[in-house]
């Protein structure tokens, strides 16, 4: 088992055939200490100084890069039609304290019954999508 303290590189420069993937759920990217197994069976322990990012290199040998990939997850996404609408969606979803990801076109929200009920109650068009979900990282009560 290899112990990882930080990413080796933000991305791999090697061809895909020379990359071995360790798949991890989003919750693992938030943890400091955890274990994982790459696709080839290689075990890794993580005692991280900072968060890893999807697609980063966690370990390198002379011939391969081990990269970590976030497993895509089911989310609701609402298409943004105006800044005012985006603010309204953000405000109402924020009041429920659910994580959101904001892109140029979409507000993506955790797949949860309370969110579905909000979206339906408001009559907002939405869709389900399976994506790599990267919600905003905020700290409550930050100054």
pLDDT single digits (tens) 29-80: 989 999 999 999 999 999 999 989 999 999 999 999 999 999 999 999 999 9
Percent of the chain topping pLDDT 90: 80
Does pLDDT of 143 surpass 70?
Answer: no
Determine the topology of domain 2-70 in CATH: HSP40/DNAj peptide-binding domain (2.60.260)
Residue 138, pLDDT above cutoff 90: no
**Residue 139 has what pLDDT?**
47
> What pLDDT, on the 0 to 100 scale, is given for residue 16?
95
Q: Give 134-138's long-range contacts (Cβ < 8 A, gap of 24+).
A: 134/26, 134/54, 134/70, 134/101, 135/99, 135/100, 135/101, 135/108, 135/110, 136/99, 136/100, 136/101, 136/102
CATH number, domain 73-131, options 3.40.1170.20, 3.30.70.790, 3.40.50.720, 3.30.1300.10: 3.30.70.790
């Amino acid at each position: 088992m290899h112990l990882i303290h930080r990413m080796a590189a933000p991305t791999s420069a090697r061809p895909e055939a020379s990359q071995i993937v360790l798949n991890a759920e989003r919750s693992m990217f938030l943890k400091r200490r955890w274990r994982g197994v790459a696709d080839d069976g290689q075990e890794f322990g993580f005692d991280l100084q900072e968060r890893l990012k999807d697609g980063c290199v966690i370990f390198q040998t002379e011939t391969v890069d081990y990269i970590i990939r976030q497993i895509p997850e089911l989310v609701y996404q609402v298409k943004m039609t105006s800044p005012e609408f985006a603010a309204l969606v953000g405000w109402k979803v924020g009041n429920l304290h659910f994580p959101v990801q904001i892109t140029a076109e979409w507000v993506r929200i955790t797949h949860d019954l309370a969110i579905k009920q909000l979206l339906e109650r408001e009559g907002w068009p939405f869709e389900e999508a399976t994506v790599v979900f990267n919600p905003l990282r905020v700290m409550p009560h930050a100054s």
